[in-house]
Amino acid sequence: MNRLSRRIRGLDPALLQLVALTVVIFGAMAVLNPQKFLRPYVFESITYVAPELGLLSIAMMLAMLTGGIDLSVIGIANLSGIVAGLFFHAYGGAHGPGLMHMGVGPVLAGIGMALGVGLVAGAINGLLVSRARITPILATIGSGQIFTGIALVLTGGPAIVGFPAAWGAIGNGRLFGVAAPLLVFLAVAALVMVLLTRTSFGIALKLIGTNMRAATFAGLRTSRTVFFSYMLSGVLASIAGIILSGRTNAAKSDYGVSYLLEAVLIAVLGGTNPAGGRGSVPGIILALLALMLLSSGLQLMRFSNFLVDFIWGAFLLLSIALNALRTRR
Amino acid sequence: MSATIATPARTGTLRLLLRRPEMAVALLALVSMVVIGLINPAFWDAANLFSLLRANVITGILALGVMIVMLSGGIDVSFPAFAIAAMYLTIKAMIALPYDGVLLPFIAATAIGLTLGLVNAMFVHGLRMIPLIVTLGTGTAVRGFLLGAVSPSQINIDQMPPALIAFGRTQILHVSQAGGQPAGLSAMVLVYLALAFGVHMMLRYTLIGRSIYALGGGEEAARRAGFSVRGTTFFIYGLAGALAGFAGLLHGSMIWIANPHDMVGMEIDVIAAVVLGGVSIFGGRGSVVGTMLGVFTLVMLTNSLIIMHIDTTWQRIVVGLVVIVAAGATSWRDRRRGA
A309 contacts B148? CB cut-off 8 A: yes
Residues in B touching A329 (Cβ below 8 Å) = none
β-bridge mates for residue A250, sequence order: A161
The shortest C-alpha distance from A97 to chain B (Å) reads 31
Kindly state whether B282 is in contact with chain A, defined as any CB-CB distance less than 8 angstroms: yes
| pLDDT tens digit sequence for B279-332 | 887 777 889 999 999 999 999 999 999 899 999 899 999 999 999 999 998 888
Summarize the confidence of residues A27-56 as an average pLDDT.
89
Whole-number pLDDT of residue B179 = 67
Summarize the confidence of residues A227-256 as an average pLDDT.
94
Best CA proximity match to B301, nearest among B282, B325, B283, B279: B325
pLDDT value at A59 more than 70: yes
Kindly state whether B129 is in contact with chain A, defined as any CB-CB distance less than 8 angstroms: yes
B324 contacts A142? CB cut-off 8 A: yes
Whole-number pLDDT of residue B2 = 42
Higher pLDDT: A77 or A274? It is: A77
Measuring CA to CA, how many Å separate B111 from each of B58, B104, B243, B259, B306? Answer: 18, 10, 10, 20, 38
pLDDT value at B8 more than 50: no
Closest to B136 (Cβ–Cβ): which among A135, A264, A305?
A264
Whole-number pLDDT of residue B4 = 46
Higher pLDDT: A329 or A129? It is: A129
Indicate the helix (H) or strand (E) that contains B218.
none
Quickly state the pLDDT bin for A102 (edges 50, 70, 90): confident
| pLDDT tens digit sequence for A151-160 | 999 998 889 9
Summarize the confidence of residues B179-183 as an average pLDDT.
74
| pLDDT tens digit sequence for B30-74 | 999 999 999 999 999 999 999 999 999 999 999 999 999 999 989
Residues in B touching A144 (Cβ below 8 Å) = 320
- Residue A93, SS3? coil
Question: Mean of the per-residue pLDDT values for chain A?
Answer: 89
pTM (2 d.p.): 0.91
Kindly state whether B198 is in contact with chain A, defined as any CB-CB distance less than 8 angstroms: no
A321 contacts B144? CB cut-off 8 A: no
B331 contacts A146? CB cut-off 8 A: no
| pLDDT tens digit sequence for B94-120 | 999 989 999 999 999 999 999 999 999
Neighbours of B49 (CB within 10 A): 16
Whole-number pLDDT of residue B288 = 95
Whole-number pLDDT of residue B146 = 96
B137 contacts A314? CB cut-off 8 A: yes
Q: What part of B 51-80 touches A (C-beta under 8 Å)?
A: 75
The shortest C-alpha distance from B137 to chain A (Å) reads 4
Contact status, residue B246 vs residue B263, Cβ threshold 8 Å: no
Residues in B touching A143 (Cβ below 8 Å) = 320, 324
Neighbours of B197 (CB within 10 A): 11
Q: What does the alpha-carbon distance between residue B123 and residue B132 come to, in Å, rounded to a whole number?
A: 11
| pLDDT tens digit sequence for A160-208 | 998 998 899 998 888 888 899 999 999 999 999 999 999 999 988 888 8
Contact status, residue B302 vs residue B26, Cβ threshold 8 Å: no
| pLDDT tens digit sequence for B207-235 | 999 999 999 888 888 888 888 999 999 99
Say whether the ipTM exceeds 0.90. Answer: no
A219: Cβ–Cβ under 8 A, 6 or more apart, which residues?
Answer: none
Kindly state whether B255 is in contact with chain A, defined as any CB-CB distance less than 8 angstroms: no
The shortest C-alpha distance from A153 to chain B (Å) reads 6
The shortest C-alpha distance from B68 to chain A (Å) reads 17
Summarize the confidence of residues A272-296 as an average pLDDT.
91
Higher pLDDT: A14 or B18? It is: A14
The shortest C-alpha distance from B306 to chain A (Å) reads 15
| pLDDT tens digit sequence for B106-158 | 999 999 999 999 999 999 998 888 899 999 999 999 999 999 999 999 999 99
Higher pLDDT: B3 or A12? It is: A12
